[in-house]
Amino acid sequence: MPQQRTPIARLERAALVGLMAGRVRRLEAERSLDELAGLASAAGAEVVLRVLQERPKPDPSTYLGAGKIQTLAASCSELRVDVVVFDNELTPAQLRQIEAAVGCKIVDRTQLILDIFARRARTREGKLQVELAQLKYLLPRLVGAGTALSRLGGGIGTRGPGETKLETDRRRIRTKIHAISEDIEQVRRRRGQLRERRHKASVPTVALVGYTNAGKTTLFNVLTRSNAEASNALFVTLDPLVRQVRLPDSRELLVSDTVGFIDRLPHALVAAFRATLEETADADLVLHVIDASASDRDRRMAAVREVLDEVGATEVPLVEVYNKCDALTGEERRRLQEQEPDALYISALTGQGVDELVETIASRLELDVRRVTLAFDPDAAEDRERIARLYRHARVVEHEVRDGRVSIVADVPRRLLDRLGGQPR
Ligand SMILES: Nc1nc2c(ncn2[C@@H]2O[C@H](COP(=O)(O)OP(=O)(O)OP(=O)(O)O)[C@@H](O)[C@H]2O)c(=O)[nH]1
Ligand SMILES: [Mg+2]
């Protein structure tokens, strides 16, 4: 018997393929390919070839033109490419044709993103969500699939639902989708209950959202004095994190960090991550964290707004936070501030502007207090309940009992004035 060896982990060699179709100009296509390179490296691959073809629209059967496919096949074999990544979603037929012509593994942008998510998911909820998205992506691709679905070996496109599952029939996959959806629904209900409880406890929530790599987790760590993983790789954070923050004057709020967004985020993924993203729709305030130093900032911001729209978070008050301002020149920063005077400008890395951000959060959440004087009848059960509530959510400065009446002077957060029944004095 041959001695069993542990395979040495080797980076997969990847070729990237993009199209400049229609009005998509070269610069945009280049940037999109840069982003694809970031995704490929997040999936554990090393980019050895980039191909951009100019074509009015994709070829229906092979995406690229026939000649270009030939050239691609030759380059791939010369450069020992393991996987070719297309910057768009491919139809099942295109996938098969290209694979036959090029002779190595072909994945599209959607599959690449799903793959990264599959690698990064840590919690049960995260794993369920990714698996659901992968199965939904696979389902329409099962019909008549040949080699594309019975790949051997590992690497991009083979993580997640395993070989045996892929070879089963559509019905079993449907059953599985159904079962996972139910599990996720349970998680979702549980999340809803937790949110409800937080809501009852009157602790306001601030949700950090933004494009992947914008610096959400870095800011989260600064705000909550935590140590969550932040890195230059894409999609580092998948599972939502919620932490309590106590401001110096003992006001409390919750900050949540969540999965980053990206241009053309696969729809199946957004749908599967609905439970996670609903946290955002339910927050009291959304901070849109923006990488101010990104050259394609506007495109990224638009992609984020699109996802917010899709998860129904457009009603939540939102503050735009331009992060990484340390990486801007003074001139760039001045211009940006002129354009967007209402936004905030910070550096989560150096801490610059963070105090002002905290103050803005506090005032937007109406955490600032008003001093009120309230009178209660201690014999009424309802009033005793109100007194207890006041003690829980406000700072009582005076408590007097006179002639069988209770008089309380308290500092009440402005957002709770209505609920605690106080009028500002
Ligand atoms: N120069 C500079 N770099 C920053 C700043 N904030 C974050 N970064 C860097 O940007 C990279 C991404 O930061 P993260 O906090 O992981 O970004 P994220 O938005 O949580 O990213 P994902 O979770 O992957 O979507 C890291 O290398 C950070 O060190 C900043 O203010 N200035
Ligand atoms: Mg993060």
How confident is the model over 68-88, as pLDDT tens digits? Answer: 999 999 999 999 999 999 998
- The whole domain housing 381 covers 369-420
Kindly state the average pLDDT of the residues 329-344: 94
Percent of the chain at pLDDT exceeding 90: 40
Same domain, 232 and 360: yes
Q: Which tokens sit at 134? A: 């992968």
* pLDDT of 213 above 60: yes
CA distance 10 to 154: 11
pLDDT attached to residue 250: 61
Q: Are residues 348 and 276 in the same domain?
A: yes
What pLDDT does 352 receive? Answer: 95
Which positions ≥6 away from 221 have C-beta within 8 Å? 227, 228, 230, 348
Let me know: does 260 contact 220? Beta carbons within 8 Å. no
From 98, 117, 136, the end of a domain falls on 117
Give the per-residue pLDDT at 148.
42
Please list all protein residues whose beta carbon sits less than 5 angstroms from ligand 2, which is an ion: 216-217, 236-237
CATH label of the domain that carries residue 308: 3.40.50.300
- The pLDDT confidence band at residue 409, using thresholds 50, 70 and 90, is very high
Residues 330 and 232 occupy one common structural domain: yes
Mean pLDDT of 251-275: 83
For residues 327 and 392, state if they share a domain: no
Q: What is the distance in A from the centroid of ligand 2 to the CA of 121?
A: 13
Report the pLDDT value the prediction gives residue 249, as an integer from 0 to 100. 61
> Does residue 53 fall inside a structural domain?
yes
- Does a structural domain hold residue 41? yes
Say which ligand is closest to the CA of 233: 1
Dist. CA 221 → ligand 1 center (Å):
11
Give the pLDDT band (50/70/90) at residue 153.
Answer: low
230 CB within 6 A, ligand 1: yes
Q: Is residue 190 part of a domain?
A: no
Instruction: Please tell me whether residues 68 and 167 are part of one structural domain.
Output: no
Residue to mutate (ligand 1; options 212, 213, 237; most atoms within 8 A of CB): 213
Residues 95 and 240 in one domain: no
User: In total, how many domains does the chain have?
Assistant: 4
Is residue 231 within 6 Å of ligand 1 at its C-beta?
Answer: yes
Is any atom of ligand 1 closer than 6 Å to the C-beta of 393? no
pLDDT, the chain, mean: 84
CA of 233 to the centre of ligand 2 (A): 9
Asked whether residue 284 falls in the same domain as residue 333, the answer is yes
Do both 336 and 374 map to the same domain?
no
- Rounded to an integer, the average pLDDT of 340-360 is 94
The first and second tokens of residue 77, run together, are: 């074999």
Does the pLDDT value for residue 328 go beyond 60?
Answer: yes
Q: Is residue 388, in this structure, part of any structural domain at all?
A: yes
Same domain, 341 and 392: no
Ligand nearest to the CA of 231: 1
* Residues 258 and 351 grouped into a single domain: yes
How far is 271 from 259, CA to CA, in rounded Å? 13
Q: 371-403 pLDDT, tens per residue?
A: 899 999 989 998 898 888 888 778 889 999 988
More confident residue, 240 or 199: 240
Tell me, yes or no, whether 4 lies in a domain. no
2 part of a folded domain: no
Is 363 a residue whose pLDDT tops 60?
A: yes
Whether 343 and 229 share a structural domain: yes
User: Does pLDDT of 190 surpass 80?
Assistant: yes
pLDDT of residue 55: 86
Burial class (CB in 10 A: 0-12, 13-18, 19+), 177: middle
1 inside domain: no
Q: Would you say residue 88 lies in a domain? A: yes
How many A from CA of 298 to the centre of ligand 1? 18
Q: What is the Å distance from ligand 2's center to 136 Cα?
A: 25
310 and 414 share a domain? Answer: no
Could you identify the atom of ligand 1 that is nearest to the CA of residue 257?
20
Among residues 153, 182, 211, which one ends one of the domains?
182
Residue 83 or 189, more confident: 83
